Amino acid sequence: MKFRIIIQPPAFDDLDETYVYLAKRYSPESAGAWHSGCIDAMQALVDQPQRHALARESAKLGVEIRQMLYRRHRSVYRILFTIEQSAVRVLCIRHAARDELTAEDVSTD
């Protein structure tokens, strides 16, 4: 079964903010490679998204949140998502060193 990918606005914001940060810190080319690679990683969630581990916040928040680790060079980013029937909802994209998700981050309203 193929899942539909729904990218929440905060995840788009995370993509844009990370691109800008990487472009300033490294180069626009490096930032572009990170951005397109991250998009490709999210698109891969159409197949078997449940194969990815539960995020560490999942039990505490009472919501099944999964994470896909996206690694580019030495940096690791967590693509955090939920699975809803036939859709994968990408909530946000966070550097692995950032704070855990809160209930507010999980809200899809």
Q: Provide the CATH number for the domain around residue 69.
A: 3.30.2310.20
Q: Model pTM? A: 0.92
- Is pLDDT at 73 greater than 80 in this prediction? no
pLDDT at position 109: 59
Neighbours of 62 (CB within 10 A): 10
pLDDT at position 2: 95
Domain limits for position 13 = 4-98
CB 18 within 8 A of CB 33: no
Q: Based on the structure, what is the number of domains in the chain? A: 1
In a domain, 109, yes or no: no
How large is the angle between the packed helices 9-25 and 28-43, nearest 10 degrees?
150
Confidence band, pLDDT 50/70/90 cuts, at residue 79? very high
In a domain, 108, yes or no: no
In a domain, 106, yes or no: no
In a domain, 103, yes or no: no
In a domain, 79, yes or no: yes
In a domain, 78, yes or no: yes
In a domain, 104, yes or no: no
